Amino acid sequence: MEDLKIYNDFNQYIKALKRIADKSLIVIAVRDALTFSNYNHKELYNELQSIGFSINLNGSFRESYIGILNKGTVLYEERAKDVLTPLSYNSNGIQVISKGYSCGNFCSIKKDGDEYALNGIGLNIVVFDAEENNFIDSVSVNLLKESVTMSRYEKSAWENKLLELKRFGIQPFTFYLPKLDDIQNKSDWETLLYNLIIESGNRQATQGIIAKNVDKYYELSGMNTCYDSIEEFKEHLNNPCRVLRGNLYSKNVYYKGKYLNIDWAGRRMVTDTPADYDFTVHMFGDSVGLLWEIKDSDTAASRLQNLFNVNGIKAKVINYSVAGLSLDNIMNYITDSEIKQGDIVVVLCSGGKSDRRRESWLKRNGIYSEYMVEEFQRPHNYGEVFYDANHFNHNGLKVVAEIMFDKINDYLQTMTYRPVVDKPKGVLPPPNFQSYPHGLLKLKNIKNKSAA
C-alpha cells in the first residue's frame, strides 16, 4: 500500500488516493464549510469525484456531506441540500457525522468506536486498508482560502512521553473527566450550578457565591453526605492548599490538617497505603486529582487505593496532583519523578470534547485513554456528582475510581513485559524481567536480584 503520509499537497494526495482506491476504504465528512464563492476549487472537486465518488462538491458552501468509498464502490454518499441539515451514517462498524456551519459545525469519522477524523474545517478524509482493515491516514483539507491547506494529527511532546514510558515497561493510563457543560439532562442542582456560572461569568466567582451561601449549597451539592458537619466543609472552602510555582511544573506546599494533608514532597495524602506492595501507581493530575474540597479519604487516589486493598492487589498509590497543571507540566513532573519499570502511571485531568482525538490516538498506540462523559450522563443512580462546574464531589469520585480500577485490573491480568533499549530521562535503569501467572510483577524480588 502506498504511503499517503509523504504527501502534503492536496493535488498530489488526490492522485495517490486514485492509485489505491481499489484497495482502500475512503471516508469523507465535511465540517463548517468547503469554500467561499470567490475561491474556485472546481478542478479539485472534479479530481476528488474521479476517485469514484458520484457527487460533485463544487458550489457547496455550508452544507453537510458524507462520502464512503470501499474498493472503488460507493457505499454511501449524500450532500445536504439545506445548510441546516446534518448528515449521519452508521453501519458495518463505520459511524460518520457531518454538520455544516449552520447546523452544528462538527464532523466525526469512527471505526469500531474509535475516532479518526481531525474535525478540521472543510474536508475530513480518513483512509483504511480495506483488505487488512488497518488505519492508513487521516487529513483535514481547508478550502476556505485561495491557497488550500492540508493538515494531519501531529504527536505532541506529551504523547511522545507516554509512548516512551510504555516502551520502558511503565504502563500509562489517561482519564479525562467531563465538565458540567458536557452533561445533558442536568439535575436540579446541576441546572442551578450551571445558571450560577452563566450569571457570575467564571468558576472563581461561582465558588465565591457558593462560599457566601454555604448553608444552602452544602446540602444541594450533596456535600452534606461527605462531611459530618458544615464546619468541616468550611475548612476546605478556605482552600488551605498552597502551590509552589516552578518553571517546569508546580508542587503543593506542605500542609497538615484534619481532613486535608500534603506531605513534604508536595503529594496529597492517600489513605490506607500498604507497607508491603508489589508495584506503585503514580497518579498525576490537575485540580480534579487534588480537590481540596474533598477529604483525603474521598479523593480518586484514595478510593483507588481502597479498591486495590479490598481486592487483594498489592499496589501503593501516590497522588502528585496539583491544581492548575497543564499536560506539559505533568509531563515534566513525570520525568522528574522516581518511577520504576513495572509501575503504572495514571493521569487524571479535566477533559473536553477536544480530548476525543487524543483518546483514540492513544488507544491505537496501546495506551488506555478514556473521556468519561458517557458514564455521567443522566439518568444514573450516583446521586449528585458535581461540586462545582469543573470538579466532582465524593460521589462522582467514587465512580471515577471504580472505572479506573476496572481498566487497570484488566491490564494487570494480561500484563507482559519486554526488554527495551532506551531509558527515559529521570527514570531508574530497568531491573531484570520476571513473569508470573496472574500477571502481577513482583517488583520486590526483581529489586533484590538487581541489587545482587
**Distance, CA of 153 to CA of 359 (rounded, Å):** 12
* Mean pLDDT lowest among 15-29, 120-134, 311-325, 417-431: 417-431
Phi, psi (5° rounding) for residue 116? -120, -20
In angstroms, what CA-CA distances link 365 with 164, 245, 339, 370?
11, 33, 21, 14
Name the grid cell of 323.
491544581
Phi, psi (5° rounding) for residue 350? -65, 140
Q: Tell me what pLDDT residue 271 has.
A: 96
Q: Tell me what pLDDT residue 280 has.
A: 95
Name the average pLDDT for the chain: 80
Cis before 379? omega within 30? yes
Q: Tell me what pLDDT residue 208 has.
A: 65
pLDDT in tens, 379-419: 899 988 888 777 888 899 999 999 999 999 988 887 654 33
Please check the confidence at residue 444 and state whether its pLDDT lies above 80. no
Q: Give the residue with greater pLDDT, 432 vs 86.
A: 86
In this structure, the strands spanning 24-32 and 122-129 are antiparallel
Mean pLDDT, range 312-329, rounded to an integer: 91
pLDDT in tens, 87-139: 999 988 899 999 988 888 888 898 887 788 888 888 999 999 998 888 899 99
Name the grid cell of 49.
469525484
Q: Tell me what pLDDT residue 418 has.
A: 39
Mean pLDDT, range 35-43, rounded to an integer: 62
Cβ atoms of 135 and 153 closer than 8 Å: no
Q: Tell me what pLDDT residue 268 has.
A: 94
Cβ atoms of 383 and 374 closer than 8 Å: no
Mean pLDDT, range 28-52, rounded to an integer: 77
Q: Tell me what pLDDT residue 69 has.
A: 94
Task: Please state, for a pLDDT cut of 90, what percent of the chain lies above it.
Answer: 30
Mean pLDDT, range 244-268, rounded to an integer: 86
Band (pLDDT 50/70/90 cuts) for residue 442 is: very low
pTM of the model as a whole: 0.69
Helix 394-413 to helix 300-310 angle (10° resolution) is 50
Q: Cα Rg for the chain, rounded, in angstroms?
A: 25
Please check the confidence at residue 293 and state whether its pLDDT lies above 90. no
Band (pLDDT 50/70/90 cuts) for residue 435 is: very low
Mean pLDDT, range 302-310, rounded to an integer: 95
Please check the confidence at residue 443 and state whether its pLDDT lies above 70. no
Long-range contacts of 356-362 (CB under 8 A, 24+ apart): 356/115, 357/115, 357/117, 357/118, 357/119, 357/153, 358/159, 359/115, 359/174, 359/176, 360/114, 360/115, 360/116, 361/153, 361/155, 361/159, 362/159, 362/162, 362/174
Q: Give the residue with greater pLDDT, 259 vs 174.
A: 174
Specify which of 11-15, 42-46, 298-302, 336-340 reaches the highest per-range mean pLDDT.
298-302
pLDDT in tens, 342-379: 899 999 988 755 556 666 677 777 788 888 888 899 88
Please check the confidence at residue 36 and state whether its pLDDT lies above 70. no
Band (pLDDT 50/70/90 cuts) for residue 261 is: very high
pLDDT in tens, 169-211: 889 999 989 888 888 888 888 888 788 777 766 655 666 677 6
Q: Tell me what pLDDT residue 229 has.
A: 76
Cβ atoms of 301 and 289 closer than 8 Å: yes
Please check the confidence at residue 425 and state whether its pLDDT lies above 70. no
Q: Tell me what pLDDT residue 241 has.
A: 67
Q: Tell me what pLDDT residue 328 has.
A: 84
For the beta carbon of residue 310, count every other beta carbon within 10 angstroms.
Answer: 10
Mean pLDDT, range 425-436, rounded to an integer: 34
* Cβ contacts of 422 within 8 Å, gap of 6 or more: 164, 167, 168
Name the grid cell of 326.
497543564
**215-240 as b/e, with b when 16 or more CB fall inside 10 Å?**
eebbebbbbeebbeeeeebebbbeee
Please check the confidence at residue 224 and state whether its pLDDT lies above 80. no
In this structure, the strands spanning 171-177 and 344-350 are parallel
* Cβ contacts of 381 within 8 Å, gap of 6 or more: none
Task: Please state, for a pLDDT cut of 70, what percent of the chain lies above it.
Answer: 82
**Distance, CA of 176 to CA of 358 (rounded, Å):** 11
Query: Which of 376, 384, 388, 398 has the alpha carbon at shortest distance from 236?
Result: 388
Q: Tell me what pLDDT residue 114 has.
A: 79
Q: Tell me what pLDDT residue 236 has.
A: 67
Q: Which residue reads 488550500 in cell numbers?
A: 148
